[in-house]
């Protein structure tokens, strides 16, 4: 009988295992500490703009100390983001979300447009989110590339974060910047994407492309959702939009209980695809604006007192058309699941 000696099998098996690990894009485990820092950096974007620049705002006291390199604003689109460097020499990019979530829900735009990346074949993204990101993109890319090329750090990390609309812009920024290749940089940066209450940004082709991109580059991506938050259910899947992978769902009060969701499928980077986990936020029948405004026990807006934030939230009523849309989408997903099983 044909046999293979252990001495010859072991190295081969080890090599196969290493190749498999490389192809799967193994990442470090989800870090609540880094997630909380990212959330606090997102919170700062809602503060008084001049105080963000010199890091003197109310919310600036909570996250790790940061030296702001530049503020980015566009009055036409009402967008804002900042870029800075923290005490560990990590570059931080944080995008501001919608200043009035109820108005955003009422005027929800679901118009898709082609994603302008030749390598992302068949990719469609949300027009409003894409235009918002593009309004800041060129100036931001110029500043980021300068920081990367001038950094002596051989393991430079770039944290990109945002809440709500800011989370959607963060996804587009991370995808754009991570796909640049950096041929003239000896040690390309590693990107860490942490979003909070982000809406769906593109179609399945886009979501799968982003997952494969992050897998190949060994970047990290976490899409954090809180209990019954309404925004992650929008735009609806029946309109062609799907989430990128990496959901972490806080299913109690967002303080201590979470599920690391299983939403990225495929064993090798080139075959990555995304399917939203029916055991995470997508299982929720009820929806809430309150859960959108508080993550990991922290109010996301720049308020000095908790009571002030809570009083502002109590008047938030989800528009009827959004409730109807989410209900119809849940029925659509249920029917789609049944069809797949047949």
Give the active site residues. 164, 229, 292
C-alpha triplet 229, 231, 236: angle, nearest 5°: 120
Find out whether 79 and 169 touch, Cβ atoms under 8 Å.
Answer: yes
Q: Which residues pair with 294 in a beta bridge?
A: 299
Q: How many CB atoms lie within 10 A of CB 103?
A: 11
CB 193 within 8 A of CB 222: yes
Closest CA to 295 of 193, 158, 195, 191: 195
User: Using an 8 Å Cβ cutoff, are 202 and 164 in contact?
Assistant: no
Distance between CA atoms of residues 170 and 144, nearest Å = 14
Task: Give Rg (Cα) of the chain.
Answer: 21
Q: Which uninterrupted H or E stretch holds 10?
A: helix 6-24
Are the C-beta atoms of residues 137 and 170 closer than 8 Å to each other? no
Burial 159-184 (b: 16+ CB within 10 A, else e): bbbbbbbbbbbbbbbbbbbbbeeeee
Q: What is the DSSP string of 171-185?
A: HHHHHHHHTT--TT-
């Amino acid at each position: 009988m044909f046999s293979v000696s252990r001495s010859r099998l072991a190295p081969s098996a080890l090599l196969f295992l290493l190749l498999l690990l490389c192809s799967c894009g193994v990442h470090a485990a989800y870090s609540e500490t880094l997630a909380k820092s990212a959330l606090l950096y997102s919170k700062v974007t809602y503060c008084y703009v001049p105080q963000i620049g010199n890091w003197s705002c109310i919310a600036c006291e909570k996250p790790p100390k940061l030296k702001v390199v530049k503020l980015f604003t566009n009055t036409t689109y009402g967008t804002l983001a900042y870029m800075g460097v923290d005490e560990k020499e990590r570059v931080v990019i944080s995008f501001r979300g919608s200043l009035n979530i109820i108005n955003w829900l009422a005027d929800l735009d679901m118009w898709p447009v082609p994603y302008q990346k030749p390598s992302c074949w068949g990719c469609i993204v949300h027009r409003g989110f894409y235009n918002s990101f593009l309004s800041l993109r060129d100036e931001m890319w110029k500043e980021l590339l300068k920081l990367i090329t001038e950094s002596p750090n051989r393991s430079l990390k770039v944290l990109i974060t945002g809440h709500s609309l800011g989370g959607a812009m963060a996804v587009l920024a991370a995808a754009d910047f991570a796909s640049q290749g950096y041929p003239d940089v000896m040690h390309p940066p590693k990107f860490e994407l942490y979003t909070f209450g982000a809406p769906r940004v593109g179609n399945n082709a886009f979501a799968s492309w982003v997952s494969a991109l992050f897998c190949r580059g060994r970047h990290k991506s976490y899409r954090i959702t809180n209990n019954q938050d309404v925004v992650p259910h929008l735009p609806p899947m029946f309109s062609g939009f799907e989430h990128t992978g990496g959901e972490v769902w806080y299913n109690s009060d967002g303080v201590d209980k979470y599920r690391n969701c299983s939403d990225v499928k495929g064993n090798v980077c080139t075959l990555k695809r995304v399917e939203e986990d029916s055991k995470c936020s997508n299982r929720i029948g009820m929806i809430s604006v309150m859960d959108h405004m508080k993550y990991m026990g922290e109010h996301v807006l720049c308020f000095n007192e908790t009571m002030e934030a809570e009083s502002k939230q109590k008047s938030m009523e989800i528009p009827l058309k959004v409730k109807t849309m989410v209900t119809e989408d849940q029925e659509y997903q249920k029917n789609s699941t049944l069809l797949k099983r047949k």
